[in-house]
Chain A
């Protein structure tokens, strides 16, 4: 069974440029999460989807971040414009339901903003 797939693995951009990350969850997993992880820290939740509905986006910086999950499967996280402080690893995870914390993570997308 295929795991969570993310792309790109690495992205280097200059500040003020836009960037987008894509995630394909495990088949059948209704719940999808985007986390951000800074070096030496644990993952920080940005947004959680139940199917196509964003049920928790309280930690998403809405002035520059946006996300969508069309048709309740793939998801895209966008940053526009990027700032230096956005440099981090962006992790996508999926699970069978929001009641479980048994998350399956993708390999992550490492963003460097110069």
Chain B
């Protein structure tokens, strides 16, 4: 079992719709959870962090965390073509390692 798992996609979403990205992790002691966006040929960029169960909203982005289910998700509302990128889920494990998933490729179609 991978430490952080994501569906590789591609996930195709029409412009203006909600994109839903999911991530599961294996270390129950993990405390910090992050979403990074990576455009093709660029380096990852932090877009959301979440530390406690529930939802955290920032503009069009909402991160959701369920520690009991070891599940993290990212919702992107009113999806724009500029949201087309690979989204990486990252988790800080109980050993203070920051582990990345393999990413979900998101494509917003006009």
How many pairs, one residue from A and one from B, have CB atoms within 8 Å of each other in the complex?
56
- A99 and B97: CB pair below 8 A? no
* Interface of chain B, main secondary structure: strand
- A-side contacts of B98, CB under 8 Å: 33, 45, 101, 103
- Using an 8 Å CB-CB cutoff, how does the interface string of A60-101 with B read, 1 for contact, 0 for none? 000000000000000000000000000000010000001111
**Other-chain contact of A104, B46, B90, B101 (Cβ < 8 Å):** B46
We find that the number of chain A residues with CB closer than 8 angstroms to chain B is: 22
B43 with A91: CB separation less than 8 A: yes
* Cβ contact within 8 Å between B49 and A101: yes
Q: A101-B32, A101-B90, A102-B34 are in contact. Are A43 and B96 (CB under 8 A)?
A: no
Contacts of B96 in A (CB 8 A): 56, 98-99
Indicate the member of B33, B43, B49, B88 with the most A CB atoms within 10 Å: B43
Contacts of A100 in B (CB 8 A): 32, 92
Contacts A98-B96, A101-B98 given: A42-B43 contact, CB under 8 Å?
A: no
Nearest chain A CB to B24's CB is how many angstroms away? Answer: 14
Give the CA-CA distance A33 to B92 in the complex, in Å: 14
Identify which of B33, B36, B91, B102 contacts A40 (C-beta below 8 A).
B102
Q: Which chain B residues have a beta carbon within 8 Å of chain A's beta carbons?
A: 4, 8, 32-34, 36, 42-46, 49, 88, 90-92, 96-103
Across the A-B interface, the 3 shortest Cβ-Cβ residue pairs: A42-B100, A105-B43, A101-B92
